[in-house]
Amino acid sequence: MTERPMPTEEGILAFHKRCEDFYPADAVDADIAQQRAWYDALCAAFDAPPPEGMVKEDGLVAERIPIRRYRPTGIRTSTRLYYIHGGGFVVGSLDSHDAICAELSEAAGAELVSVDYRLSPEHVWPAAFDDCWAVLVALLREGRPVVVIGDSAGGNLAAGIVLKARDEGLKGIVGQALIYPGLGGDLVSGSYVEMADAPGLSTADVAYYRDVYKAPDDATHAFPLRATELAGLPPAFITGAYFDPLRDDARAYAARLILAGVPVEYREEKQMIHAWLRARFMSEGAKKGFAALCDAVRRMANP
């Protein structure tokens, strides 16, 4: 039996243990209501107060899609950030990534909008994608530049709507930041094999989430790595975690974007596991990775 791949950084190991106290490794075997209850408790455990003076306002797009707007005290740009949360298309909400959104908004000196898209299995492909797309269109129609950001499943949705915007000639996206994104890798090679039993996310988990989401194989916007042409996309910041079955999706997409002539900044967090954004107050590696993300987003929003 092969040894389970594990990082050695004490902070990220402590983070992983704390996560498993709330969200067991076999969580995907539980019913959806239980998964969401565990995930909500996990998110609450890592919550943090907003930066001083931060204003938050909840609203709706198209009278049905919940969003949350963040306004920091020191706005330095007209560009807005658009954040799409992770959670395997199954869990997550406006609250699950609230602190992360607030801190990104503050760091960039930019307004941020997050979206509460419909979740699977109640709403399969393309419901989540359509919700995220509708919010993007609404933001761009207001005539201000947008940086699209997403982690994990949110990274998938972010990359997909950016692709669709290019395909439809929609202008105004000045950057995309993809954080340990799942982009449609083959599940049977590279990191999907090497990190099949990585802490925090297994290849079996990835397969489960894809099955629940039910995007057809020919839906290019659901599997951005399968797009035949990537030229003409906005500059990208892509960060992957070494101990993550999704690692090679990030590597491969960054490489293909570079070959297509797209400006790319790529990082691979060598001691990190999937979902390390939440570990930014426990792990030195996560703290540095989050600082790099904030810096990249700030530069995209303040050219």
Q: What is the pLDDT of residues 144-187, one digit of tens each?
A: 999 999 999 999 999 999 999 999 999 999 999 999 999 999 99
Q: Which of 85, 131, 274, 283 is catalytic?
A: 274
Catalytic residue, candidates 93, 96, 120, 152: 152
Summarize pLDDT for 283-296 with one digit per residue, the tens. Answer: 999 999 999 999 99
Bin 111: left if φ > 0, else alpha if -120 < ψ < 50, else beta.
beta
Q: How confident is the model at residue 122 (pLDDT cuts 50, 70, 90)?
A: very high
**Which pair of structure tokens corresponds to residue 64?**
């049905």
Q: Identify the three-state secondary structure at position 176.
A: strand
- Whether residue 2 is predicted with pLDDT greater than 80 in this model: the reply is no
Contacts of 10 (CB under 8 A, 6+ apart): none
Each residue of 238-250: pLDDT tens digit?
Answer: 999 999 999 999 9
Clarify whether 274 is annotated catalytic. Answer: yes
CA 28 to CA 120: how far, in whole Å?
13
What is the rounded CA–CA span in Å between residue 175 and residue 216?
27
- State yes or no: is 152 an active-site residue: yes
Which of the following is catalytic: 244, 248, 249, 283? 244
Clarify whether 120 is annotated catalytic.
no
Burial of residue 183 (number of CB atoms within 10 Å: 0-12, 13-18, 19+): buried
Q: Is 260 exposed, middle or buried (0-12, 13-18, 19+ CB in 10 A)?
A: middle
Q: What is the CB neighbour count within 10 angstroms for residue 94? A: 17
pLDDT at 132 over 90: yes
Per-residue pLDDT at 68 exceeds 70: yes
